Amino acid sequence: MNLPRRKTLGDSGEAHARAWLEARGYRFVAAQWRCLAGELDVVMVDGAELVFVEVKTRRGESAGRAEEAITPTKGRRLLAAGSWFVADHPEWHDVVWRIDLVAITLDARGGVARVAHLINAVVE
């Protein structure tokens, strides 16, 4: 898969995840926030908690389920990026934060076949 196609898939997955979470009462804060530790796909607020959302989008499950895509190394990068975000945004210093995973599986036509939301998908 070439890079532009992968980016398009990722961007559409992130947009779908954001809309899916907003329909469940989450509030949007930021998208594709970058720092030296990496990128936070979507930043949302769930009640009183700041949520860094890692979005994984897969065409089918032949390469594995999207939920299985966070390796220990990726988890450490997400934790570091979350810390950078909070350090860079003083308004969030005293807020509890977590990292969730939204895993989206597409069907053969490119439609959304399944959305899985794992709360606290990465813990220290």
- At 38, the amino acid letter reads G
Q: How far apart are CA 13 and CA 99, in angstroms?
A: 17
Interval 12-26: pLDDT, tens: 899 999 999 999 999
Q: Are strands 49-59 and 97-106 parallel, antiparallel or unpaired?
A: parallel
Nearest 5°: phi and psi at 103? Answer: -105, 125
The domain of 10 spans 3-122
For the chain, give the mean pLDDT.
89
CATH number of the domain residue 98 falls in: 3.40.1350.10
- Cβ–Cβ < 8 Å for 55, 10: yes
Measured between its terminal Cα atoms, the distance across the chain in Å is 33
Asked if pLDDT for residue 49 goes beyond 90, the answer is: yes
pLDDT in tens, 71-117: 889 999 999 999 999 999 999 999 999 999 999 988 888 888 889 99
Mean pLDDT of 33-62: 92
Given a contact cutoff of 8 angstroms between Cβ atoms, the answer to whether 43 and 91 are in contact is no
Number of structural domains the chain divides into: 1
Structure tokens at 57: 């989008």
